Amino acid sequence: MTIDMLSPDPGVFQDRVGWLLVDLNSYFASVEQQMNPSLRGKPIAVVPMMAETTCCIAASYEAKAFGIKTGTMVRDALRMCPNLILIEGNHEKYIHYHERIVEAVESCHPVTSVLSIDEMACRLQGRDQKPENAMALAQQIKKSILSVGSQLKSSVGLGPNRFLAKTASDMKKPDGLTLILKKDLPQIMYKLKLRDLCGIGENMERRLNQHGVFTMEQLYKLDLPKIRKVWGGIGGEYFYRWLRGEDFLLSHQEHQSIGHSHVLPPDLRNQDSAYSVIQKLLYKAGVRLRKYNLWAQSMSVSIRYLDGYKWANDVNMLECQDDMSLREILKHLWSQRMPGAPLKVSVVLFNLIHDSERTFSFLENQDQKRLQLTKAMDQINSRFGKYTLYFGGMKAAELAAPTRIAFSNIPSLDEA
What DSSP string describes 258-327?
EEEEEEPPGGG-SHHHHHHHHHHHHHHHHHHHHHTTEEEEEEEEEEEETTS-EEEEEEEEEEE-SHHHHH
Domain end point (choices 199, 219, 252)? 252
CATH code where residue 42 lies: 3.40.1170.60
Residue 137, phi-psi category: left (phi > 0), alpha (psi -120 to 50), beta (remainder)? alpha
Q: Tell me: the pLDDT tens digits for 381-399?
A: 555 555 555 555 555 555 4
CATH code where residue 235 lies: 1.10.150.20
Number of neighbouring beta carbons within 10 Å of residue 343: 21
Contacts of 197 (CB under 8 A, 6+ apart): 167
- pLDDT at residue 210, as a whole number: 93
Residues 313 and 269 in one domain: yes
- Whether 142 contacts 156, CB under 8 Å: yes
pTM above 0.75, yes or no: no
In this prediction, residue 305 has a pLDDT band, given cuts at 50, 70 and 90, of: very high
Q: Is 234 helix (H, G, I), strand (E, B) or coil?
A: helix
Residues 391 and 334 in one domain: yes
Indicate if the pLDDT at residue 15 is higher than 90: no
Domain end point (choices 213, 228, 252)? 252
Least confident of 58-72, 73-87, 101-115, 350-364: 350-364
Residues 282 and 233 in one domain: no
Residues 292 and 376 in one domain: yes
In this prediction, residue 3 has a pLDDT band, given cuts at 50, 70 and 90, of: very low
Residues 216 and 301 in one domain: no
The answer to the question of residue 282 being in a domain is yes
Average predicted confidence (pLDDT) for the chain: 84
Indicate if the pLDDT at residue 17 is higher than 90: yes
Number of neighbouring beta carbons within 10 Å of residue 279: 27
Picking from 118, 132, 147, 100, the residue whose alpha carbon sits closest to that of residue 27 is 118
- pLDDT at residue 219, as a whole number: 96
C-alpha 56/C-alpha 87 separation (Å) is 10
The answer to the question of residue 73 being in a domain is yes
C-alpha 404/C-alpha 90 separation (Å) is 8
> How far is the CA of 299 from the CAs of 96, 256, 391, in angstroms?
32, 13, 19
The domain in which residue 75 lies consists of 27-90
> How far is the CA of 361 from the CAs of 216, 320, 366, 373, in angstroms?
53, 10, 10, 18
In this prediction, residue 357 has a pLDDT band, given cuts at 50, 70 and 90, of: low
The answer to the question of residue 321 being in a domain is yes
Average pLDDT over residues 156-167: 96
Residues 344 and 379 in one domain: yes
The answer to the question of residue 79 being in a domain is yes
The answer to the question of residue 134 being in a domain is no
Does the CA dihedral 385-390-396-401 come out positive or negative?
negative
C-alpha 230/C-alpha 141 separation (Å) is 38
DSSP 365-400: HHHHHHHHHHHHHHHHHHHH-TTSS--GGGGGGTTS
Picking from 146, 178, 150, the residue whose alpha carbon sits closest to that of residue 164 is 178
CA angle, 330 then 334 then 336, to 5°? 130
Domain end point (choices 37, 67, 90)? 90
CA angle, 13 then 15 then 20, to 5°? 90
Q: How far does the chain reach from its first CA to its final CA, in angstroms?
A: 31
Residues 281 and 245 in one domain: no
Number of neighbouring beta carbons within 10 Å of residue 64: 20
Say if strands 58-59 and 44-47 run parallel, antiparallel, or are unpaired.
antiparallel
The answer to the question of residue 406 being in a domain is no
- pLDDT at residue 9, as a whole number: 41
C-alpha 3/C-alpha 107 separation (Å) is 30
Least confident of 22-26, 228-232, 301-305: 228-232
Number of neighbouring beta carbons within 10 Å of residue 27: 24
The answer to the question of residue 113 being in a domain is no
Residues 280 and 240 in one domain: no
In this prediction, residue 356 has a pLDDT band, given cuts at 50, 70 and 90, of: low
CATH code where residue 363 lies: 3.30.1490.100
Three-state secondary structure of 103-170: HHHHCCCCCCEEEECCEEEEECCHHHHCHHHHHHHHHHHHHHHHHHCCCCCEEEEEECCHHHHHHHHC
The answer to the question of residue 365 being in a domain is yes
C-alpha 282/C-alpha 368 separation (Å) is 20
Structural domain count, the chain: 3
Residues 310 and 284 in one domain: yes
Residues 245 and 268 in one domain: no
Residues 263 and 392 in one domain: yes
Residues 275 and 211 in one domain: no
C-alpha 318/C-alpha 366 separation (Å) is 13
